Chains A and B, each alone.
Chain A
Amino acid sequence: MSAPTPISTGHEGTVRDQFRSYIQRVRGGDMGSLPAILALVVLAALFASLSPYFLTTGNIANLFVQASELTVLACALVFVLLLAEIDLSAGVTAGSGMAVFQVLFGVLGWNWIVALLLALAAGAVIGAVIGFFVSRIGVPSFVVTLGLFLGLQGFMLLLLGDGGIYRLEQPELKAIMNSNMPVWAGWAMLAIAVFGSFGLGLSDRMRRTKVGLPTRPFIMLIFKVAAIAILGGLVVLLLSVNRGQALLAIEGVPIVIPIVLIILVVGTFVLDRTVFGRYIYAVGGNPEAARRAGIKVAQIRLYAFIICSTLAVVSGLLHASRIGSIESTAGRTIVLEGVAAAVVGGVSLFGGRGRLAYAAVGALVISIIDNGLGLIGLPAGANFLITGGVLVAAATIDALSRRRSGVSIMRT
């Protein structure tokens, strides 16, 4: 009864075959963050030619630090965007978490670690409230989170008082965005990344071989690891050069970078390799099919909102660390940039498609526009116009690629 040749698994063939099938997928509308990466290269080249400061090591370090806050927020939003939901309150959730921190730490004088953990817990509670209304009652997330967007602004004002601005004094927290790791730690981080991805690739190959499945050409794994080593090495090298004045050395990878990388790696692991992650994609792709497969759809939605709001508080911490203060008006506008970053990076607003890495690429694009336009001295108005234009372009690519892959036709 069995067919003579087994059905392909996508791992067969030479490097050339693999490359060809990748091109085919891209032409079929599965572009991922390719447009965003191209935009990143074009923008970098453009700003480098317009401003002599753009490619200085100081500015590159600055760019990464600026982007980190947005990256974490965009990653948070990916969890709900994958379900075709939205969280408009993520920015003020971030602010509210820090307001809770300020009350516990600044006013009540609690230990800063405890206060920080409770601030994250406050985020989780906000996420649970959103998740409850969306998944159990069926209120559209747009409306629930719009309500919370307003409500949490009031919450922050009540906690911190009108126009309240408090300095963030804790040195460990200020250091996150304003200090750098020793140079050796940057290289150690790179080594962990390189060996980690190589080890994971190897163990995946061994598992496939053990089961009796074909594996991709080994050289492709080498390519992948080499790409991480070279690109990562370049960044670490640039950040290891002294970018300060003669007397005071500023060198090393900013502390925030490994924090963002850990969030990216752990989040990607959850989405790609756990049952929970698989269910997020399934619910985002077709909730009815997920329900019939026995997935507890409401529960998945609830958890996604909890993850989103908790991670949002982390981005709030990064923001407070960078500006050195906690404000009662924090986070009102950044959420839209967060959504923009995710969409620009290739996360679909229609649900079911996207990865955390896309959100990170998108956040870099948005940040590079901000950074570059500031350097060449264009007015702030131009910044908004260009960022808005990029967002509409990205959403258009998303809608068109959906049409090409036939999804929008099938789903009525």
Chain B
Amino acid sequence: MRKQAPNVEIDLSALQRKDKGAFARLVDAHSPQIYRLGLKMLGNEQDAEDVLQETFIKAYQNIESFEGRSKISTWLYRIALNESLMRLRKRTDAQVDLDAGIETDDGEIIPRQIVDWCCLPEKELMSHESRQAIQRAITALSDANRAAFLLRDVEGLSTREAAEVLEISESALKVRLMRARLKLRELLTEYFSERMPESTP
């Protein structure tokens, strides 16, 4: 099952007094998830570490503005995603319609790759090479769809929580999630179908 941030008791008033012990506990409870989100959003360790540091520096500086209406994890994910998106925008390789290929002109999504690769052994599906292919597929999503997918399916947030992090409606979140999942399925099917023992006609 998906790993979520452990349900650590957060003493908001201690955090807002800038109590270092309370902040260290917050960091330890949430840094693995924030690092993973940065890594999967940006695709490399150095950027993930930069996002991780920036997220907690901003959280420390702005903790007074956190009113406790949402979960603190929601607030931290939002800071981390904003940092990630800012870095992605600075990259020179501008994004050009990365989700193209499975959508018709009227926005309908049509699966093209029909090969059942689920029978491949788990060892093959989760090999080092396969995990690199999974990361390439995640990177190939548009930033908006990637963020929706990572929050819902990798971080395990509910639709409502993920929509809250991204500050979009739940229905908009669901559309992004559907596009992301179908695109990933398409890309992983391309990859794994070549690894089937007998090539499917």
Are A and B associated in one complex? no
Interfacial residues, chain A to chain B (CB-CB below 8 A):
none
